[in-house]
Amino acid sequence: MRAREPAVVSCEHGGNRVPARWRPLFAGAAELLASHRGWDPGSLVLARRIARALGRPLLAHRVTRLLADANRSRHHPRLFSELTRGLPASEREGILTRCWAPHRARVEAELARRLRRGRRVFHLSVHSFTPVLHGVDRETDLALLYDPARRSERALCARWSRLLRAAAPDLRVRRNHPYRGVADGLTTTLRRRFGPRYLGIELEVSQSLAANEPARIGALVIHTLRELGDS
C-alpha cells in the first residue's frame, strides 16, 4: 500500500434506514429522513467508488443519523435527534448498542489491525454537506478536514488540496470548511485512540456534486489520491 493512500475508507452517514423497532418514531417524518439531516446524499456511492478503485475495505453505516449520529461521540449533545433524545435512557442505550457502536467498533478494529502491520495508517471518512444552509451559500464544493496541529495531516491536506485545485480549477476546494477538522467526530475520537500514527481525514463534498456527479467527483478523488501516493 502506498503510504499516502487511505488504508481504510469509511462512510458514517451513508443511508437513512430506520430499523423496524424504531420506525414508529419516524411516522410522518419522511421528508426529514430524506433531507440532509437524515443522511449524506451521495456519500455512499462516492465512498464505494473510492474504496473499490483503491482496493480498500469500505466500512459504511446506513442507519439514519436521526436515530443516533455515528459521527458523534457518546456524550455529544447532538448525538440524538429531536426524535430520539426524549426517549428513556434504557431505550437510548439500546439504540447506541445496536445502531451506533457496531460501526465505530468495526472502523476502530480495522485500523488497529492495520497498525499492527505498519508504522502508520491513513483513514478517509467520506461525507457530503448541503450546499446552502439557512439560505446561505457555503462557498465550498469540496473540502478536506484535518487537525492543523498535527503536522502529518496538515502536510497531506496541503498537498492534496493543491492537486485537487490543479485537476479541477472550476471547483472551490477548501480546507477545514464548512466544518472544523477538530470538531467532534469519528476521526477526532480516533486521533485520541491511536495517537500520531493515525492520520484521519474527512472528505466533504457538496451534495450538489456528490449526488449528481458521482462519477466525476469519484474520478477526481481517485486520481489525486494516486498522485498523492506517488509524491
Assign residue 154 the CATH number of its domain: 3.40.630.40
Does 1 reside within a domain? no
Q: What is the pTM of this model?
A: 0.96
> What's the rounded mean pLDDT across residues 68-76?
97
Q: Is residue 127 part of a domain?
A: yes
Is residue 77 in a domain?
Answer: yes
Cell of residue 1, nine digits = 500500500
Q: Which domain holds residue 170?
A: 8-230
Buried b (16+ CB within 10 A) or exposed e, 175-211: bbbbbebbebbbbbbbbeebeeebbbbbbbbbbbbbb
Q: Would you place residue 225 in the very low, low, confident or very high pLDDT band (cuts 50, 70, 90)?
A: very high
In a domain, 29, yes or no: yes
| Number of domain units in the chain | 1
The pLDDT tens digits for 21-32 are: 999 999 999 999
Query: Does residue 2 sit within a domain?
Result: no
Is residue 3 one of the residues assigned to a domain?
no
For 188-209, write each residue's pLDDT tens digit.
Answer: 999 999 999 999 999 999 999 9
- Rounded to an integer, the average pLDDT of 39-49 is 97
Residue-wise pLDDT for 117-153, tens only, equals 988 999 999 999 999 998 999 999 999 999 999 999 9
